[in-house]
Structure 1
């Protein structure tokens, strides 16, 4: 089978004897020699033409609680069909999915967009998540699948590192209903040297997603000695607060994996960062630590709104009202609006 052509490639000029092409999808802007791939491993130069031989190939498909993405304020208590992919345009040395993100040797199966949507419908899922590794490097598949999903009344959820150029970001965000984006650090140097990414591109992607009306939640894996400094945490808090203090921020504990063997994040230190963030942000959650509860409380009066025990969810203290065709939750105790989207 001839690999399909991809978008966001600049063809090799005739005068280029090396037949290099340039991929313009992400900030890496890889120049790719014939027979080679970009850093992501899945966007390939075939005789001077940009191809995507992994189109429609997934590493896994599973029905998950939506809280696993993690999304806490989007259709809480619902289930979602999650699709995993190969490759990544970053090289995080502590990646917890490195077996699928840092190579293309893992087993895959063909899963055309039509089959993905049919599988979601058969499973009773009203949403599909593009997740596990980095889905955006497979943008051609995402665009095809997302359009079919919307036509069938299925929502699209993106779980991503957000490292994408502006034109591509705008094209895909139009089709996304909710997203959890990794804000891996608030240091341009850390992104460039340790992760292989670009902080400015990620901040621009998050900002654009918010302005385009995508339901947005952010995750930061707190890695001791790398991104847990006071100045860096304050920078991330300030960015999110300026965008909206109501954007949920998930602080996740790191554990040694792949090429990084520093000690795991201390639970007390993680909670300390969370307490600092809660002074400015309304919804801050911790993850990957024993005994976490992560209830949602009203930021105005402190009343319990959503109780979480693992992936078990109970909607406790909210009232749903429908006005002008729009569903809005209010705190049952103080009647203030709560930014939770119903499923």
Structure 2
């Protein structure tokens, strides 16, 4: 379904898309970088409104969110294409696909499915959710009215205008993928990492819950200097209580490096802790003890996880039962049993 895009401006005989920071200049009849925006008759249209490639009810821990409505499920959807060029993309089947004709899913029907699947909220993920901006805003409005939460799992490369629209329409949580330092972002994504840090900080200041994920990839972003750089910026700009997920890479798409060594992930976690971060987690390493949440003061086990399941939740009014340290958890526990 074609729908006029919300964010664009006239630029001579072209249109400038202002949905993401690529700010594509698009001639009549042409598409932007992501192939989801088209100039038709001097107006910019999205080609993926309601064009849903994937739909599933996922534990919120799968996003991953570890400090946001733990134990709940989010009805998660994605569409097609991406505004990045990562050679290791785990969802390349859809992120590298141009928009396709699929059965239309209206925002109203999506909200009905939330109840059918017994979900506590929404998540737009799988491919880059910024490309679904217009659809996301309509979904968020409906979800907020009915008391559901709204989340984005994103590379964070939207414009400030797009981010402000999302927040004003009910964005509650963002997991932002920080892929590396500025050189990694330029080389592999052709993107300016400062725009992502700007958005992460702005979202947090506007009251959005923010967690950060970094896929640790051999030969790309696994050096101590790169890991330290990310950890220190999280601590300084977003705060030491910001959860940081260090996830294990496996070969995918065009990237054939071997899987990340678990010892490297553990060393990266130590770097994060030395930078002052209180909550650093390992992902894609099932049953590892660093999937769990520990008290940063007394090291008591607070939340025990196995994969995406919560085995123990020992917080009392969001405080450590041993020493009383307050842990920044958004929302109530749900979904156990």
Aligned pair count reads 328
Pairwise CA distance, 1:291: 3.9
Q: What residue is the counterpart of 1:297 in the other structure?
A: 294
TM-score, scaled to structure 2:
0.93
Pairwise CA distance, 1:33: 2.4
Q: Tell me the secondary structure at the aligned position of residue 150 of structure 1.
A: helix
Q: What residue is the counterpart of 1:76 in the other structure?
A: 70
Deviation string 1:63-92 (CA, Å, 9 cap, x unpaired) is 111111011111111111011111111111
Preserved contact between residue 36 and residue 99 of structure 2 (Cα < 8 Å): no
Aligned equivalents of 2:229, 2:117: Cα separation in 1: 42
Aligned equivalents of 2:112, 2:161: Cα separation in 1: 30
Pairwise CA distance, 1:233: 1.3
Q: Tell me the secondary structure at the aligned position of residue 87 of structure 1.
A: coil
Aligned equivalents of 1:81, 1:290: Cα separation in 2: 23
Pick aligned residue for 2:142 from 132, 148, 157: 148
Runs of 4+ more than 4 Å apart: none
Q: What residue is the counterpart of 2:9 in the other structure?
A: 10
Aligned equivalents of 1:53, 1:105: Cα separation in 2: 7
Deviation string 1:173-228 (CA, Å, 9 cap, x unpaired) is 232111111011122x3212311222011001100111111111110011111112
Q: What residue is the counterpart of 2:335 in the other structure?
A: none
Gaps of 5+ in 2: 333-337
Deviation string 1:139-188 (CA, Å, 9 cap, x unpaired) is 1111111011101111101110000111221221232111111011122x
Q: What residue is the counterpart of 2:211 in the other structure?
A: 217
Query: In angstroms, what is the RMSD of aligned CA positions?
Result: 1.6
TM-score, scaled to structure 1:
0.91
Q: What residue is the counterpart of 1:313 in the other structure?
A: 310
Aligned equivalents of 2:285, 2:305: Cα separation in 1: 14
Q: What residue is the counterpart of 1:66 in the other structure?
A: 60
Higher relative contact order (CA 8 A, sep 6+): 2
Deviation string 1:260-302 (CA, Å, 9 cap, x unpaired) is 1122211111111112212221111111235424111100111
Gaps of 5+ in 1: 321-328
Q: Tell me the secondary structure at the aligned position of residue 270 of structure 2.
A: helix
Deviation string 1:96-134 (CA, Å, 9 cap, x unpaired) is 111111122666331111111111022221200011100
Q: What residue is the counterpart of 1:325 in the other structure?
A: none
Preserved contact between residue 58 and residue 74 of structure 2 (Cα < 8 Å): yes
Q: What residue is the counterpart of 1:326 in the other structure?
A: none
Alignment map for 1:146-225 (pairs within 5 Å): 146-174=140-168, 175-187=170-182, 189-225=183-219
Preserved contact between residue 100 and residue 106 of structure 1 (Cα < 8 Å): no
Aligned equivalents of 2:21, 2:94: Cα separation in 1: 21
Aligned equivalents of 1:12, 1:342: Cα separation in 2: 44
Preserved contact between residue 17 and residue 25 of structure 2 (Cα < 8 Å): yes
Aligned equivalents of 1:316, 1:12: Cα separation in 2: 54
Aligned equivalents of 2:100, 2:264: Cα separation in 1: 35
Q: What residue is the counterpart of 1:56 in the other structure?
A: 50
